[in-house]
Chains A and B, each alone.
Chain A
Amino acid sequence: MAKITLSKLRHSYMANPASPDDYALKQIDLDWSDGGAYALLGPSGCGKSTLLNIISGLLMPSEGQVLFDDRDVTAFPPDQRNIAQVFQFPVIYDTMTVFDNLAFPLRNRGVDEARVAERVTEIATMLEVTDMLGTKAAGLSPDNKQKISMGRGLVRDDVNVVMFDEPLTVIDPHLKWKLRSKLKELHQKLRATMIYVTHDQTEALTFADQVVVMQDGEIVQIGTPVELFERPAHTFVGHFIGSPGMNVLAAEMRDGGAFLNGHHIALDGAVTAQEGAPQIGIRPEFVQISDTGLPATVRKVADIGRHSVVEAMVGDTAIKAITEGTAPQQGAAVHLQFQQNQTRLYRDGWLATEGRPT
């Protein structure tokens, strides 16, 4: 296992990139420590797969370096990097048995058969596929095929990093949670450095200790699931994480305070940036419908069973609130209260308040 460092990485698919927009990856600097579980999270086209391919060596970056344990591996092909990767669609060797599939990466490296059998049995037990070891891999269901692909990634104990590229795409929705948690469990047992690429927040937050949120070829925030939820560094993170995402409301700054539609809004802490368009960010979970506060009119109520999402209009601004009690009627006049320690100010999209730790 290894520590991974990405230094001043840039990548463009064009021959002669001129403007920053020509870069699929704009500037990536990252340090990942040995044995951690990391996720790269972002919408499609944010550059996360490009970054993954650069780390695995399938793609050569236009600029910058990839270091494994401080050793420059930028120019190394995948097979010399000692890595494992699990792809979006299961890759299995059809003609081999499950056992031979799992043993393949070991046998290719000349590991002796006794050790091969030991490792394969160990991984198969963890993945709960022991009873399939003798069967041909071609006939398996998609989720079992993907389990075998994962197993091939995990079977070597000498890899620097195991990478997962949206591995649950083909898995039936009702089996996803099982594999999600299985992966987490495997990480805790194996303690290998793992990188998980996905556009699905649940997969990323469930799996990773640290999540890297990407947008337009840039890293927007690196943080623990709690940090991403409670203190999004950028309005994009606030919106992308959480269902529904954070309310991002255009505000006005005057007299040293933030105002929304003429009403003063108390923020969680001192404002740290004085420039840039001001926006107030607050998650629907922290907006309460009460008798006092910001006057609003209910535009829509969506009852999703365990709670209701109330969309209320303050002037032209729509604000979403989550309520577990009886939801107000459509068209009703209500008041909204923002929980102060969760009300943040953003300037030009970036977090601009110094919230007290919660």
Chain B
Amino acid sequence: MRTQNNKAWFFVLPVLLLVAFNALIPMMTVVNYSVQETFGNNVFFWEGLRWFEELLNSDRFHAALGRQFLFTGLILLIEVPLGIIIALSMPRKGPWVPVCLVLMALPMLIPWNVVGAMWNIFTLPDIGLLGYLMNTTLGIEYDMTQSPFAAWATIITMDVWHWTSLVVLLSYAGLVSIPDAYYQAAKIDGASPFKVFRYIQLPKMKQVLTIAILLRFMDSFNIYTEVFVLTGGGPGNSTTLLSIDLVKIALGQFDLGPAAAMSLIYFAITLLVSWLFYTLMTKDDAK
């Protein structure tokens, strides 16, 4: 391979260095913590797999993990179909296209902690617009600090509001890439609108949808800031998702060993689910 371009390595090198600094080195630190006990002052005691065993048998961990899956499952169930429906109803040509796209992108541009704070104020029963409207005007009892149901409804609505746009934009990109001839052929073949969706639009959106679902899964599974700012994990532990629990253990209780073990399990679950999902979705294409 005489003409092989070795310059390529030169361009890849910075990325490798970056990955080493922002992923590999912190990761090794975590692995290091996860098998030891420390009481500060850089004094460590070997504990082996004790933290892992304890964690996997802990009810608290199971509960947090369950809540995490429930949250992710619910927002995926809402955001994906909703995103597709919005994308389908957006205009594909004409002057309204850029307007719709900008409006869609707006929520995604807001920083996460601001989103949490916004919704916190928005839902306050006394001065928040939504809270006041529900409690006083409509007479529906709605207080996030009291009712777990209200808290869940709020974090889910907030996430849907914040992130459905991502699904919309990706689906929309898939839709506009479908040539007109497909729609014309379907008309001539006598296909119903549902069949057009099922056999033309959905297959053509499949690849971008895979990416969208993957991104939404990873993001929502690791969600922290918005929920923490909004509910702080309460009332009680009702909205204590895995990430919030992790921070409580690590920073609240300063149990670095168990927290590190939990991080690794957390990471393994995210990786496993993502890999499973991606393999399943792309299985047909490989053939």
Given the interface pairs A87-B181, A91-B181, the reply to whether A79 lies near B203 with Cβ below 8 Å is: no
Q: Contact at A79–B190, with CB atoms within 8 Å?
A: yes
Cα–Cα distance between A87 and B185 once the two chains are bound (Å): 8
In the complex, identify which listed stretch (A35-43, A103-111, A113-121) lies at the interface while the others stay far away. A103-111
Stretch at the interface among B57-65, B115-123, B192-200, B243-251: B192-200
Bound-state Cα–Cα, A152 to B192, Å:
16
From B184, B190, B287, contact of A109 by CB (8 A): B190
Inter-chain contact A95/B199, CB cutoff 8 Å: yes
B200 proximity list for chain A (CB < 8 A): 93
A108 touching B195 in the complex, CB below 8 Å, given contacts A79-B190, A84-B188, A93-B203 = yes
> 1/0 per position for A74-85, CB-CB distance to B under 8 A?
000111000111
* Nearest chain B CB to A192 CB, angstrom units: 14
Contact with B along A123-146 (1 / 0, CB 8 A): 000000000000010010000000
User: What are the interface flags for B164-198 relative to A under an 8 Å C-beta threshold, 1 for contact and 0 otherwise?
Assistant: 00000000000000010110110111111001000
Nearest B residue to A53 via CB reads B184
**Judging by beta carbons under 8 Å apart, are B199 and A96 in contact?**
yes
Cα of A255 to Cα of B242 in the assembled complex, Å: 104
Which residues of B sit under 8 angstroms from A149, Cβ to Cβ?
185
CA distance A291 to B60 in the complex (A): 109
**Among A79, A85, A87, A93, residue most surrounded by chain B Cβ atoms (within 10 Å):** A93
A146: min CB distance to chain B, Å: 12
Inside 8 A of A87's CB, which chain B residues have their CB?
A: 181, 184-185
**Do A89 and B179 contact each other (CB < 8 Å), given the known contacts A56-B188, A84-B188, A105-B189?**
yes
Quick check: is A29 within 8 A (CB to CB) of the other chain?
Answer: no
B187 near A79 with CB under 8 A, answer: yes
* A79-B190, A109-B190, A139-B287 known; A91 vs B185 contact (CB < 8 Å): yes
Contact: A85 with B188, CB < 8 Å?
A: yes
Chain A residues within 8 Å of B199, by CB: 93, 95-96, 104
Cα-based distance from A49 to B187 in the complex (angstroms):
18
CB neighbours (8 Å) of A105 from chain B are 188-190
Pair A95/B189 contact, Cβ less than 8 Å: no
B182, B184, B191, B203: which contacts A104 (Cβ < 8 A)?
Answer: B191
From residue B203, how far is it (CB to closest CB) to chain A in Å?
5
> Residues of B contacting A91 with CB < 8 Å?
179, 181-182, 185
Residue from A79, A89, A94, A136 in contact with B188 in the complex, judged by beta carbons closer than 8 Å: A79
- Chain B residues, Cβ within 8 Å of A277: none
> What is the interface residue range for chain B against chain A?
10 to 19
Contact partners of B179 in chain A: CB under 8 A: 89, 91
Contact with A along B267-287 (1 / 0, CB 8 A): 000000000000000001001
A83 to B187, CA, bound (A): 10
Bound-state CA distance A109–B188 (Å) is 11
Are A108 and B181 closer than 8 Å at their CB atoms? no
Identity of the chain B residue whose Cβ is nearest the Cβ of A152 in the assembled complex: B189
User: Which B residues between 112 and 154 are near A, CB-CB below 8 angstroms?
Assistant: none
- Give the one of B179, B181, B185 with max A CB within 10 A: B185
In the complex, A254→B120 CA distance in Å? 98
| Complex contacts, B184 vs chain A, CB 8 Å | 56, 58, 78, 85, 87
Q: In the complex, A95→B203 CA distance in Å?
A: 7
Interchain nearest-CB distance for B186 vs A (Å): 8
Contact A88 B181 (CB under 8 A): yes
Contacts of B181 in A (CB 8 A): 87-89, 91
B185 touches A108 (CB 8 A): no
| Chain B min CB distance to A116 (Å) | 13
Question: Distance (Å) between the CB of B192 and the closest chain A CB?
Answer: 7
**B284 CB, nearest partner CB in chain A, Å:** 8
Candidate in B181, B188, B195 with the most chain A CB atoms within 10 angstroms:
B188
List chain B residues, Cβ under 8 A from A58. 184, 187
Q: Which of B190, B199, B200 has the most CB of A within 10 A?
A: B190
Q: Least Cβ distance of B206 to chain A in Å? A: 8
List B contacts of A85 (CB < 8 A).
184-185, 188
Contact A94 B189 (CB under 8 A): no
A78 and B187 contacting across the interface, CB-CB below 8 Å:
yes
- A89 vs B179: C-alpha distance in the bound complex, in angstroms? 9
CB distance from A226 to the nearest CB of B (A): 33
Q: Which chain A positions have C-beta within 8 A of B190?
A: 79, 105, 108-109
A115 to chain B, nearest CB (A): 15
Chain A residues with CB under 8 Å of B187's CB are 58, 77-79
Q: A58-B187, A78-B188, A94-B203 are in contact. List 5 more A-B contacts (CB 8 A).
A: A58-B184, A91-B182, A104-B189, A149-B185, A152-B189
Q: Can you pick out 21 interface pairs between chain A and chain B where the beta carbons lie within 8 Å of each other?
A: A56-B188, A58-B184, A78-B187, A78-B188, A79-B190, A83-B188, A85-B188, A87-B181, A87-B184, A88-B181, A89-B179, A89-B181, A93-B199, A94-B203, A95-B199, A95-B203, A105-B188, A108-B191, A108-B192, A109-B190, A152-B185
Q: Which 6 A-B pairs have the closest CB atoms?
A: A108-B190, A91-B185, A87-B181, A105-B189, A93-B199, A78-B187
Q: Which of B's residues lie within 8 Å of A, judged by CB?
A: 179, 181-182, 184-185, 187-192, 195, 199-200, 203-204, 284, 287
